Amino acid sequence: MIKKYLQKYWFNIIGILILCGVSFGVGWWTNEKTGDPNERLLQAAYQAISNESFFNSQSGQQLAYGAIRGMLNTINDPYSALIEPQAAQNLKNTFSGKTGVVGLYTTVVDKQVVISIVYPNGSAEQAGIRVGDILLAIDGKMLDQTMNSSETGLLMRGVPNTPVHLKIQRNGQVLEYDLVRKLQEFVTSRILPGGIGYISLIAFNQTATQQMKQALEAILVQKPAGLIWDLRNNEGGDMQAAQDILSYFIKEGLLFTAVMTHDRTVEFKAEGGAIAADIPLVVLIDKTTYSAAETCAAAVAETGRGKTIGQETYGKGVIQATMPLVDDAMLQMTVAKWLSPKGEWYHGHGVLPQISIGDASTGTDEILQKAIEVLQAK
């Protein structure tokens, strides 16, 4: 699995970052003669600033965080981030499915944090927050140009049933909202008229994997005529979860490939146990279909397992990994790109649907209606 492989890969990087935090005097002579000159450069600058700068009022930790962010800013990776301890804990809770959310998703547009998804029935929707609003601050913390959507999302998450205060800009007006985090539900399912099963997934993680299996089993017991898998408003997530969930639908073969530095590759194949391999399948996608969700849409279409209907997806064809730093902080950066079963890289342009539906902002869910029509015609 790519997680285990990448964990081994990051050990050297973690060692370097820890080395940057040790006392400058320990092992100085040896390091001066044989160590990495770039490490010595970082240590020397840290010592000079922390001990001699007239204007420095920051703690050693703040200086170290600033140095890490400075390095990340030079690598041209929009998905890289230093995740401070509280946000790091929120990230761990997110992947275990035990986090409270306000029901929105953001992307960075022209160095502004813009709300791109407002989930139905969430605190944000109920409060009147809209797609296109600009997020300015979370619990009094102003969002600067170094913040990316990952950091922003983690700051909004926390223990279920706790409050969070958002400051938002809309058409030049600043609005403030007090929201309550709700335990996130990743899967919703039901039987539509005509005996068609419907299942929606909004993120990929360990909890979502189990919820998808349970929902699929409950639908299949009712012997539906077909199945609609809705990947709109899906923020992506764990590629291992994407492999697990795709394996419910696809019996065998390549699902996607991760390509890392130095052309190292890891192939993700169907794992067996396909409980929904034979039912007619349609996948719904649009511009709010991100990352791992795009991977799944491409796999379903290119393997011939089902049809994709809707609009072009977001176009995020890269994979991030996180690694622990000292003091419970974490480092996130892009470590690979993913390729579809046919070797396509959908980055900067999304996955095109096999059946395209134009502007679906008419008040009727035209994409869903078209999916029902396709399945009824089988």
Report the 3 state secondary structure along 261-288.
HHHCEEEEECCCCCCCCCCCEEEEECCC
Find the mean pLDDT for residues 101-110: 87
Fold of 187-376: 2-enoyl-CoA Hydratase; Chain A, domain 1 (3.90.226)
Structure tokens at 116: 């791109």
Give me the pLDDT at residue 27, please: 44
Pairing type for strands 226-230 and 196-201 reads parallel
Residue 9 predicted with pLDDT over 80: no
Q: What is the mean pLDDT of residues 97-124?
A: 86
CATH number of 100-183: 2.30.42.10
Check residues 271 and 35 and name the one with the higher pLDDT: 271
102 vs 179: CA distance, rounded Å: 7
> Residue 22 above 60 pLDDT?
no
pLDDT of 28 > 80? The answer is: no
Residue 73 tokens, joined? 């800013």
Q: Is 298 exposed, middle or buried (0-12, 13-18, 19+ CB in 10 A)?
A: buried
Going from N- to C-terminal start, the domains of the chain cover 2-78, 100-183, 187-376
Give residue 325's pLDDT: 93
What is the rounded distance in angstroms from the CA atom of residue 296 to the CA atom of residue 275?
Answer: 16
Identify the pLDDT of residue 184: 81
49-79 pLDDT, tens digit each? 999 999 999 999 999 999 999 999 999 998 8
* Stronger pLDDT, 183 or 266, i.e. the higher one: 266
Using a pLDDT cut of 90, give the percent of the chain over it.
68
pLDDT band at residue 32 under the 50/70/90 scheme: low
Mean of all residue pLDDT scores within the chain:
87
Which pLDDT band, with edges at 50, 70 and 90, does 6 fall under?
very low
Q: What pLDDT does residue 364 have? A: 83
How high is the pLDDT of residue 340?
Answer: 98
Q: pLDDT-derived band of residue 15, with 50, 70 and 90 as boundaries?
A: very low
H or E element, residue 104: strand 104-109
Predicted local confidence at residue 361, as pLDDT: 60
pLDDT at 78: 87
What is residue 152's predicted lDDT score, i.e. its pLDDT? Answer: 82
pLDDT of amino acid 16: 32
> For 318-349, how does the pLDDT look when each residue is reduced to its tens digit (9 = 90+)?
999 999 998 899 999 999 999 999 999 999 99
Tell me the whole-structure pTM to 2 decimals. 0.82
Q: How many CB atoms lie within 10 A of CB 249?
A: 26
Per-residue model confidence (pLDDT) at position 57: 92
Angstrom distance (rounded) from CA 350 to CA 337: 14
Of the chain, the percentage scoring pLDDT greater than 70 comes to 88
Give the residue carrying structure tokens 């017991």: 221
Across 109-113, 244-248, 354-358, 373-377, the highest mean pLDDT is recorded for: 244-248
pLDDT at 11 over 60: no
Residue partners of 161: CB distance under 8 A and separation at least 6: 100, 180, 181, 182
Q: Quickly state the pLDDT bin for 164 (edges 50, 70, 90).
A: very high
Whole-number Å distance between alpha carbons of 265 and 6: 11
In eight-state DSSP terms, residue 68 is: H
> Is the predicted pLDDT of residue 3 greater than 50, yes or no?
no
Task: Take residue 47 and report the two structure tokens written for it.
Answer: 């010592």
| Residues 284, 228 contacting (CB under 8 angstroms) | yes
Q: 3-class SS at 223? A: coil
